[in-house]
Structure 1
Amino acid sequence: MQQHRLAAIMFTDIAGYTALMGSDEDRAFEVLKNNRDIHTHFLKKYNGTLVKEMGDGMLISFDLPSYAVRCAIQIQIACREKNIPLRIGIHEAEVVFENSDVFGDGVNIASRLQESTKEGCISISESVYRDVKNKADIKTQFIEEKSLKNVDEPVRMYNVSCKEITVRENLAGNVVKDQRKTLITRLLRTVTPVAITIAIAIIIFITYSGTTIPFTERDWIVITDFENLTDETIFDHSLNTAFVLSINQSRYLNVLTRKRIIETLKRMEKDNITNIDEETGTEIAMREGVEIIIVPTISKVGTQYILTSKIVDVKTANILKSEVLYAQDEDEIIEKLDKLSKKIRRSLGESINMISDQSKPLYKVTTSSLQALKQYSLGIESHLLLDFETAKNHYKNAIVLDSNFTAAKASLGNLLFEKFDRNEGRKWLDEAIISVDNLTDREKFAILAFYAVNVENDLDKGIEYTKRRVALYPDDPAAHHNLGWYFQNQGHYDMALDEYKRTLHIDPYIILTNSGIIRIYMENYGQIDSALVWSNRMIDYSPDNPWGYFYLGSCYIGLNEFEQAEAAYLKAADLNPGFLINQYRLAHDYRLQGKYDKAIVVLETILEKNSQEASAHYDLGINYNLIGKSETARDHFLEYQKTAIKWLDDYSNDPKSYIYNGITLTRLGEKDTGWEIGKRAMELDSTIYFEYTKLLAVQDRKNEALDYLEKGLKNGYRDLVWIKLDPDLQVLHEEKRFKDLINSYFKGL
């Protein structure tokens, strides 16, 4: 079975092995065995998959480029100790896994990188470099832009240092000791003995983390829900959001988001679980490749509250460290919660300076009211579960309890603007913007970007805010996705793809991001083969989501595989019978296959569910005409015309309104009147080439229609799927010039 997905491909090869085999066979076999043992050990550590061995070479795949590079560094260091002259090349690309093998251009590029690498070195492509350039434990250097054999475009090559890891492993040893020694020596020369004692204590406190917890900067953690061991219900739901929000101010560590946890529970078929306890948190962490979980608890002895938090090793279930704080009364809890989050960050290795620089007080970024905090937390939970009405009410309750609750105002404004009432949403967004500096930096730049794009209609401004958010939090998938969406709306499709792919590196299960990639390849580039790869990937990662099959069906339309398209659309319909756009596509596909009766059944079903679906009337008119029932077709065109006339009345400045009316009149036999109305569209906008092609095709002006189709293609129109599906263009399909245009712009698809 084929599986299409994004992967980091690593090739390793022993330099000079053939010559060694000829001169010293025993030594050659020893080198090969040692090399295999080293690879086996580190592949297990970094979740690498050995695809196959090729003599003295190995082909390996990883889910993440960072894992591949860290594994390569360890392998290369171990091979140097054994005097094995190894070369390693790594590239990330869309590849095809089939029958225990892997195929694709990405495999070839990784192989060529390895061949171009010096002994004892690691070479990576730019796609890998983009993923690891901000990793503190990976050092890279640009080598050259090189043309590789059988690779169309030159590849930018980077060298990975194999020394940094030893420095990192000794951070608690010689390097830090030398730093301390230097600082202490300066102090001894300049200050009094009492001051020296104090200063040395401060220096040790600042420079020595004192932790043996296996955590690397920008690693991920899972935070379970607060276990409430008191009998006070105020602490149910109220502490989780605040605790995560406080820790999530860190740029040193990454917290698995609640949204991703919910999606993971769905994949685990445990989506009925609402409370994430230690056992569930451990399962989630293991599934997501996270090594550390944080387990917080609140209890009470007498009148005193006890806040505790365990740092737990997922693999061993060992408690690596515990933190305990005491609150004398309920009013102290938020303050102590803030301190507890900072202690956790410190225990994971974050410096005091970083914590101080990157943290705002929890009462300021949320609220000092536990009641308001609980309402806000319940709002967040409902929002993530798509229960928008309940979320709205909770946000409003939070603001009633604390009128200065900026985060609640921002969340309410965002929700109202997108799902309910834009004017009311804007009112709350305006209030949030006034006190936006009260928010965490992550929230601040998110809401500023949303406001700029949606309220001020300033896409450039929104992009700048989002770039600032990405710079502060480079592993924030939502920020990368939003940046990709903004670039896509600007028409910067290459930049959008980069951000979308970065998003899926961080969280491969974000379906909306996958959808954005498919639409760019399908509608903006006309690259159906790439859209097909990503459609299959979407199905692999979310087999219960109908959109993957919808896109797969559309790809098959582009490839003229109409029966396979039908199967994909039917699968999408099984998953969601009310998936309207999928039903329309299925009807179009039936029409292209000549299955007009089936198309009619689908379209009539649409009208049974919603009699206001004017487009179904138009498409029914097309299909009834094709089976010779012209009177029935006319009835449906007349029904559609009612809506077309209303569009013209409501949107008299929209040229497409004239096109639709002109086409409908032509279908009703009023060809001259239809032409006169349709022509007005060109007076309003002479660049709507595709729409004008439709009018000309229906008017049976085929050569002129093809002229305008060619103009559209020359000016960047690339939606091949709709060119083939649009019922008004079907009359052009058998024209030689139409086929030549498709061959020219889409390589014969």
Structure 2
Amino acid sequence: MTKLRPAVPAVLSAVLMRCLEKRPADRWQTAGELLAQLETAATPSGGLSPTAPTAAISSGTEEAIRRSHPARVALLFAAASIGVLGVVYLLVRQLGLPDWVLTGAVLLLLIGLPIILVTGHFERRRALARASGRVATTPAPGLHGWLTWRKAIRGGVLAFAALGLAAMVYTAMRVLGIGPVGTLVASGRLSERDRLVVADFDNRTADSSLGQSITEAFRIDLAQTPVVRILSTAEVGDALARMQRDAATPVTPALAREIATREGAKAVVVGDISALGKSYVLSARVLSPADGSELVALRETAADDAGIVAALDRLSGKLRERIGESLKSIRAGQPLDQVTTGSLEALRLYSEGAKLSEHGRDRQAVERLEQAIALDSGFAMAWRKLAVALDNSRASQDRVVAATTRAWQHRDRLPEIERQLTAAYYHGVVEVDAAKEEAAYRRVLTIRPDNYVALNNLSLLLSKLGRPVEAESLIVLLIRANPDPGNGMLQLMLAQVMQQHDAEVRRTLDSMMSRGPDLPLYRWGRGLALTAMRDYDGAERAFLDIGRKA
């Protein structure tokens, strides 16, 4: 302005030029701000002073400097990220979107963090330059011109819109049976409630018992899908009998295809497990019984033998998804315990009973476990768990011994881990031998170091044997590995009481009450712990509380 009108004072020129700033925040934000600047520029006589170098900055520029502080930018981005991830997580769970949507959101936020921080740095530099009068009138070239708040936010919105579009396209392709993500039901290769035959897993490892255990667990996992129906062990046995074959004949892929053809099943599921060093590779394929053509092929890996069950769960979940079950339905299904039984309903009842027993509701657990045994009288692990629940509910010792003995009688049909758990309990109740009981639990932990039952029961045994330090070290592993440790908290408290670590006992009690304030097992344990610490008033209140809530 001063170039065109040299007579215009510099102060007035600065005030007017700030009115024309490209970014709205850099302009005077109100008429009052502009009026104050004009009054400041005016001399007492009414003329204008030419001596001031520049006008004061606008309130918008001041706010821009404050907003662009790195700590504030990082804090706001973290808060926004938590909110975004919460919304995405709910959408994934409620709408049945694939898991990679949540992973994609995390990656976008990780990419966005440095962009936002650098943008904040540049915006702060721009605002400080305006405050000092060094602002350029032309847009900054290169990266400076691209990294503005408006462009950064617009880029983030577009990135998440692209993620949402990708999820919509994936879901549409899956529902319509298009491409490699299309389900077998949507593509017309299977129909809802079609029957499938599961062949025995091809065991390519040194552990000869692994194939049977994996096959049974895989069959049980697949049987939970409501989309198709898996031929039960009994139905396969009947089909073998009609083929004049022994019911114990291994169901190879070729035999499974023949059974499917005879029984009118629409597909055959075959699988194998192979050892690769210390890791394991599990694969599953869905075949057409007519010509053996491959409809679906999937694979999962386990880092060691302790990860086989988790890998099998992932594999069965992926297969159920590819068959046509919704991801929401797969996620909603509670995982069943991995124990040996030919009845899916008996397994469900066992899982419910085991969970009730772990939380001190043993009378209800007894009902569920007796129902499971009525469906499968040879269900060894249900007999064993029934003995535990009877003992905890103070039933007669004769009933406890009888149930334990029945589990022991069926041990030969069990895989190694279940056999050792049954043996351990038998040597703890019937033929009492603490050394054999401990040895059995330690064999289980050698095979699967995170086995809940072995960690919990061995910790209790070690406490009884006067070895609370060892007991505490085991039960801490269980609690760290399980978000719902059940009565593992009681074992931890017992080990701490025996070591007279009163402060740690009180912390454990507080943790127990925060996890399950209404669980009778935890309230009972609180009373016993306070009694052991000679806090008799607190113990009395705890036991009275049990009576009021019984």
Q: Same fold (TM over 0.5)?
A: no
Higher strand share: 1
Q: Which protein, 1 or 2, shows the higher relative CO under an 8 Å CA cutoff with sep ≥ 6?
A: 2
State TM-score, norm by structure 2: 0.39
